[in-house]
Chains A and B, each alone.
Chain A
Amino acid sequence: MLQNHPEICRHLLWFFGVAACVKLLLIPSYHSTDFEVHRHWLALTRSLPLSQWYSDETSPWTLDYPPFFAYFEYFLSFFARLVDPQIVDVHQGLNYEADTVVYFQRISVIVSDLCLVYGIYRLTRKLEAKKRVAMWILVIWSPALVIVDHMHFQYNGFLLGLLMLSISYLQDGRDVMGGFLFAVLLCFKHLFAVAGPVYFVYLLRHYCRGGLLKGLGRLAAMGTVVVAVFAAAFGPFFYHIQQVISRMFPFGRGLCHAYWAPNFWVFYIILDKGLAFLLKKFGIDIPTPAASFTGGLVGDSSPFAVLPQVTPLSTLIMVLLALSPCLVKIWKNPHPGSVARWISYAYTCGFLFGWHVHEKASLHFVIPLAIVAVQSLEDAQHYFLLSIATCYSLFPLLYEAQEYPIKVVLLLLHSMLMWFGFSAKFSKVKPPTISDNKKTRKKGSSSSSSRSGEEGEFVIGWGGKCYIIGIVIVETWGQLLHPYFLGDKLPFAPLLLISIYCGVEVVYSWVWQLKRIMAD
């Protein structure tokens, strides 16, 4: 319909603008300790020499992102110092909470979202209007991004923008640029490395082809690009590389984060507890584990009573195992159309089986999956539920009463918008000749003609409806019934319930995505 690029740009900026206004209004809302973390990094990079960035211990919030992110903070700190010098003071600025720092950091997140907007622009500029707008709704107006970035406080919009840009270049067939951007992204936040194998196999098979010699040449070219990026990032830290690496991979942290992400390990822990409980009933003596999960950080001792201990290495192996069918598929048929699907799948695996996964990491697959969601009806239906479940799983991040209406309204509003967007995209499209014939043949029986039309219509099956009703029940239990019946007992039970309930959907989504990839 509309192939005029400046026009698309204007429309996209309108979407962004409306969202930005709401984000501006959210400035005084609750922010987590991540806010102080990023403030401290501003101060750290501004006031200390490069060599001390990764060794400083003024604050418990040490720098644990790769160097590009540190450079990014360094860049921001220029402006921060202009706004208020106290922001960038390592000692004076500790736990600084003045309006200046809140406004500055919040606005920096809003502005850095422009990277995501550009990524989305590149991805959608050639799509038809309906798909394009549906995707804008899914990404630009994503409630999960608002909750995590603009309330809880992080820079995911910016980082996901890089990922989206990289995917858009891969889809255009510009593999070097795609690989380059992914390498850059890894040097911003190494948690994105889970998709590394997918990139590796895809680039190897898609880019490095055309005979042995040409293939090797291209491999070398791509290798040079990636090495150059990493050199630019880590080069200045050459003499402290040990320190940088140890900061970036703190394996001392436990399997699960203080609040349990809705992934496979929740079920594993529940199974362990259940088994222990049963065995005790049968009179078998089991030593109670020294560490507990609800205590937050877990030390060296095994927290499991019955099931085997989980180590970082075993989680890595599980992630790779889960990824392997997909990798085989890519090896066989590396076509650019499915890149987004594979990358999202990789992040799903990482989320489901990874070590010390944070619930915020669900953004890593929900956002790129939006690219896939607008392509077919089944994808849309799958995405609808997944998006609701993952957004709901972020609710415990905002636990204060003031933000409660905001997160509920955000989720409801976005579900509604998604519903509108998808049903507009997948409205009854039936071959005109058949339906016309039917109409002329028997005008009275409308049921048959409407059924034929429903093939292309966006509907949520009874399973999906039950699941959504279940969310309402889980939320009512946690908010009203649990405090009413149990009082202060078992304070972790509502959170656990949310984790388990959303975990079910994430596991289902993982199986669904795998099936879909294998069927392609």
Chain B
Amino acid sequence: MDRNNRGKVGKDNVELDNNKNGDVCWWLLHKGLASFFLCISMFGLLVRWTVSLHSYSGAGNPPKFGDYEAQRHWMEITVNLPAQDWYINSTKNDLSYWGLDYPPLTAYQSYIHGLFLRFFDPESVTLFTSRGYESYTGKLLMRFTVLSSDLLIFFPSVLYFIHAYYDVHSRGRKADVAWHILLILINPCLVLIDHGHFQYNCISLGLALAAVAAILSQRDLLACVLFCLSLNHKQMSTYFAPAFFSHLLGKCLRRKHPLLEISKLGLVVLGTFAMVWWPYLHSRDAALQVLSRLAPFERGIYEDYVANFWCTSSVLIKWKRLFPTQSLRLFSMVATILACLPSMIQQILAPSSKGFLYGLLNSSLSFYLFSFQVHEKSILLPLLPATLLAMEWPRPFKLLTHYALFSMFPLVCRDNLILPYIALYALCIFLYHPPGGRWDGAKRHHSTPLTLVSVLLTLAYLGSLVLHIVYLTVRPPERYPFLFEALIMLLSFSHFVLFAFHTNTKQWMLSGHLIGSDKGKKQH
């Protein structure tokens, strides 16, 4: 009842606002948020499918091809071999050629998609002979599997999140909600990687997003199940684990029977894991074999040019030469834990939904910056909580999206995806600056005070734009063939670090007044 009334008041306010601002996009909201969501989903689908017309990673590039071939190969393996053999090296399953190294849920997903492919184009998943299979139909079907996963998992999760988030923070205007939906659904990096480069991040991120939504709507057990599923689709979701852990722990500690609550959550987690890992639980060896596939410790501490601490500092300190992998592993673990400790402590002491979102951002950022074996694409993980918080601080968010895209630029160039990169970049500039200045319109002042920081940020921004062009046109000097990659990495890294400081302080600033308000709630 109460909510309905509030909604009505909100609606009236929006109409007043519309008349005042002369906004150009009022008509989109005229029919209510549900139809707006439908409309934006359509647009999201259009953008995703048009991006998927372009090239993919490793197109026409034997012998190893790229991620597209890896995913296709997993479908080939899972469809043709029994589940027990998926992770084991054998004559039929050569693990050195794109062996399965994601958790079982990815394998199941590959199995389902493999069945789909076998139905329409059997040649594309036959054992052995289909290696490096590329065709018009094959590409179409593969692209379709990503699009359908996105539509079935990521889109509903966004809806769930919006529902949960604006239930808690109901003071938001309708137009704000609308723009927020748009920002989450049309995230240029995610679209580019999933539908251009070719991956299934939409599934693991979608599950994680649904888990966040479940936490916001106080369904902790459901959140545990969803987050475990997300972890079991891509181990990279561990980036979020500290935030989930600390928030849930903090919450349990404030309940009447903390131990009971914690054991309930623990049982749910174990149960979910047991279900997903069922085919590998019959013996210890089988489970350990899968586990060893998931932890790629034999690879180096970083790959290519990723804008994290290890890679950037390797310009000065040759980590790989100075230390054995063993100790590097330890270093990175300690650094990561230290980096996400402040945000974890904050959440254990004062769990709150906003603090939780900041915690997600901080823990994923610290993983990105300090953990072992980080890839350029991992920036997608911090970017997800950042989009969830976009309405809180639009300007830093825009900057983060810019540098996230920028840090992936060399990868995008390798994949021949420059055109969709440009188009998506332009599209998100248009969407972030709607006419009439909608979502940060109230705060937009043309005369922002000229501080040293803002001047530096603007200069860096312009520099990054120039670097785009330089990277494409100028050949680097022979002595430093990776000069421009290093510059891109340096610029992105410095911004990510600044960003991490900024968000950590923001999270801690929250706790001051929130402790008070939470106590107030308890007394009710």
**Which residues of chain B come closer than 8 Å to A425, judged between CB atoms?**
27
In the assembled complex, B509 has its CB within 8 A of some CB on chain A: no
Question: Of all chain A residues, which has the CB nearest B425?
Answer: A21
Q: Mark A131-156, 1 if CB is under 8 A from B, else 0.
A: 00110010000000000000000000
- A1-38 vs B, CB cutoff 8 Å, 1 = contact: the mask equals 11000000011001001101110111111000000000
Contact with A along B26-70 (1 / 0, CB 8 A): 111011000100110011011101110110000000000000000
Given A25-B51, A409-B42, verify A10-B140 contact (CB < 8 Å).
no
Beta-carbon contact of A11 and B46 below 8 Å: no
Residue of B nearest to A409 (CB): B46
Across-interface contacts of B51 in A (CB, < 8 A): 25
Output the least CB separation between A409 and chain B (Å).
Answer: 5
List A contacts of B50 (CB < 8 A).
22, 25-26, 29, 406
Smallest CB separation, A407 vs chain B (Å): 10
Question: CB of A451 within 8 A of chain B?
Answer: no
B35→A401 contact, CB < 8 A? no
A427-B419 in contact given A1-B22, A22-B50, A416-B35 (Cβ < 8 Å)? no
Q: B140–A402 contact, CB under 8 A?
A: yes
**Cβ contact within 8 Å between A424 and B27:** yes
Q: How far is the CB of B294 from chain A (nearest CB, A)?
A: 34
Chain A residues within an 8 Å CB radius of B431: 18
Residues of B contacting A10 with CB < 8 Å?
435
Residues in A53-99 with C-beta less than 8 Å from chain B: none
**What chain A residues lie within 8 Å of B426 (beta carbons)?**
17, 20-21, 24
Q: Is A405 part of the binding interface, using a Cβ–Cβ cutoff of 8 Å?
A: yes
A420 engages B30 (CB within 8 Å): yes
Q: B423 an interface residue at 8 Å Cβ cutoff?
A: yes
When distances are taken between beta carbons in the complex, the residues of chain A under 8 Å from B137 are 401
* Contact in complex: B423, A416 (CB < 8 Å): no
A129 B22 Cβ-Cβ under 8 A: yes
- Tell whether A271 is near chain B: CB-to-CB under 8 Å: no
Q: Is B457 an interface residue (CB 8 A)?
A: no
Which parts of B392-434 form the interface with A (CB within 8 Å)? 419-420, 422-424, 426-427, 430-431, 433-434
Within 8 A of A (CB), among B195-225: none
Contact, CB under 8 Å: B140 / A401:
yes
**B24 x A27 contact (CB < 8 A):** no
Q: Is the CB of B430 within 8 A of A14?
A: yes
**Shortest distance from the beta carbon of B105 to any chain A beta carbon, whole Å:** 26
- The docked-state distance in angstroms from the alpha carbon of A419 to that of B39 is 11
| Residues in A neighbouring B53, C-beta threshold 8 A | 25-26, 28-29, 402
- Of B46, B140, B422, B435, which is within 8 A of A22 by CB? B46
A416 with B45: CB separation less than 8 A: no
A401 to B136, CA, bound (A): 9
Q: Is the CB of A410 within 8 A of B39?
A: no
Q: Please state if A410 and B46 are interface contacts (CB–CB under 8 Å).
A: yes
Chain B residues contacting A427 (CB-CB under 8 Å) are 30
Selected from B22, B39, B430, B433, the residue in CB contact (under 8 A) with A420 is B39
A212 to B49, CA, bound (A): 63
Asked if B27 and A420 make an inter-chain contact with CB atoms under 8 angstroms apart, the answer reads yes
A92 to chain B, nearest CB (A): 25
| A residues near B30, Cβ cutoff 8 Å | 420, 423-424, 427
B436 at the interface (CB under 8 A from A): yes
A417 is an interface residue with CB less than 8 A from chain B: yes
| Chain A: minimal CB distance from B38 (Å) | 7
Determine if A157 is an interface residue (Cβ-Cβ < 8 Å).
no
By the criterion CB–CB under 8 Å, are A27 and B435 in contact? no
Question: How many B residues face the partner with a CB closer than 8 A?
Answer: 38
Contact partners of A22 in chain B: CB under 8 A: 46-47, 50, 423, 427
Bound complex: CA A507 to CA B60 (Å):
50
Tell me how far the C-beta of A397 lies from the nearest C-beta in chain B, rounded to whole angstroms: 17
CB-defined contacts of B42 to chain A, threshold 8 Å? 409, 412-413, 416
CA distance A21 to B427 in the complex (A): 6
- A153 vs chain B, min Cβ distance (A): 15
- The answer to whether B39 and A416 have CB atoms under 8 Å apart is yes
Any B CB within 8 A of the CB of A126: no
Q: Return the chain B residue nearest A402 by Cβ.
A: B140
* Whole-angstrom CA separation of A27 from B423 in the bound complex: 11
Docked complex Cα distance between A412 and B19 (Å): 29
Chain A residues lying within 8 Å of B27, measured Cβ to Cβ, are 130, 133-134, 137, 420-421, 424-425
Is B35 a contact partner of A420 (Cβ separation < 8 A)?
Answer: yes
Q: In the complex, what residues of A have CB within 8 A of residue B31's CB?
A: 419-420, 423
Complex CA distance for A401 and B139, rounded to whole angstroms: 11
- Would A24 and B423 count as touching, CB distance under 8 A? yes
Report if A14-B26 is in contact (Cβ < 8 Å); known contacts: A405-B49, A413-B43: no
Which partner residue on chain B sits nearest A103 by CB separation?
Answer: B419
Q: How far is it, in angstroms, between the C-alpha of A412 and the C-alpha of B43 when the chains are bound?
A: 10
Task: List A contacts of B26 (CB < 8 A).
Answer: 424
A413-B427 contact given A420-B28, A423-B30, CB 8 Å threshold: no
When the two chains form their complex, are residues B436 and A11 in contact, meaning their CB atoms are under 8 A apart?
yes
Centre residue among A17, A21, A103, A425 by max chain B CB count within 10 A = A21
B147 neighbours in A (Cβ, 8 Å)? 405
CB-contact partner of B38 in A2, A17, A416, A421, under 8 A: A416
Most buried by A among B22, B43, B49, B50: B50
- Complex-state Cα separation, A25 to B419, whole angstroms: 7
- In whole angstroms, how far apart are the Cα atoms of A423 and B51 in the complex? 31
Cα distance A1–B50 in the bound complex, in angstroms: 36
Residues 84-127 of B, flagged 1 when their CB comes within 8 A of A and 0 if not, give: 00000000000000000000000000000000000000000000
- A96 vs B420: C-alpha distance in the bound complex, in angstroms? 23
CB-based contact B435/A409 at 8 Å: no
With contact pairs A10-B435, A416-B38, A416-B39 given, residues A133 and B24 touching in the complex (Cβ less than 8 Å)? yes
| CB neighbors of B among A376-427 (8 A) | 401-402, 405-406, 409-410, 412-413, 416-417, 419-421, 423-425, 427
Q: How far is the CB of B34 from chain A (nearest CB, A)?
A: 12
Do B35 and A2 touch (CB < 8 A)? Answer: no
Instruction: Kindly state the separation between the CA atoms of A2 and B435 in the bound complex, as whole angstroms.
Output: 12
- Shortest distance from the beta carbon of B187 to any chain A beta carbon, whole Å: 15
User: What is the bound-complex CA distance between A20 and B53, given in angstroms?
Assistant: 16
**Bound complex: CA A401 to CA B22 (Å):** 42
Contact indicator per residue, chain B 424-467, by CB within 8 Å of chain A (1) or not (0): 10110011011110000000000000000000000000000000
In the bound complex, residues from chain B placing their C-beta under 8 Å from that of A410 are: 46
Cα of A18 to Cα of B435 in the assembled complex, Å: 12
Q: A21-B427, A420-B30 are in contact. Are A405 and B45 (CB under 8 A)?
A: yes
Chain B residues with CB under 8 Å of A423's CB are 30-31
Q: Which residue of B lies closest to A30 (CB)?
A: B53
Distance (whole angstroms) from the CB of B70 to the closest CB of chain A: 23
- Residues in B with CB closer than 8 Å to A29 are 50, 53
- Report the minimum CB–CB distance from B424 to chain A (whole Å): 7
Taking the closest CB of chain A, its distance from the CB of B194, in whole angstroms, is 15
Given contacts A416-B42, A420-B31, A424-B27, whether A14 and B47 have CB atoms under 8 Å apart is no
Q: List 27 A-B contacts (CB under 8 A).
A: A2-B22, A11-B24, A14-B24, A14-B435, A17-B426, A18-B427, A21-B423, A21-B426, A21-B427, A22-B46, A22-B427, A24-B422, A25-B51, A25-B419, A28-B53, A29-B53, A129-B22, A401-B137, A402-B53, A402-B140, A405-B49, A406-B49, A406-B50, A419-B31, A421-B27, A424-B27, A424-B30
Closest 3 CB pairs of A and B: A424-B27, A25-B50, A21-B427
* A interface residue numbers (CB < 8 A to B): 1-2, 10-11, 14, 17-18, 20-22, 24-29, 103, 129-130, 133-134, 137, 401-402, 405-406, 409-410, 412-413, 416-417, 419-421, 423-425, 427
Mark B residues whose CB is within 8 Å of A.
19, 22, 24, 26-28, 30-31, 35, 38-39, 42-43, 45-47, 49-51, 53-54, 136-137, 140, 147, 419-420, 422-424, 426-427, 430-431, 433-436
Given contacts A420-B35, A424-B27, 18 further A-B contacts (CB under 8 A): A1-B19, A10-B435, A14-B433, A21-B424, A21-B426, A21-B427, A22-B46, A25-B51, A25-B420, A25-B424, A28-B53, A133-B27, A409-B42, A409-B49, A412-B42, A416-B38, A416-B39, A417-B28
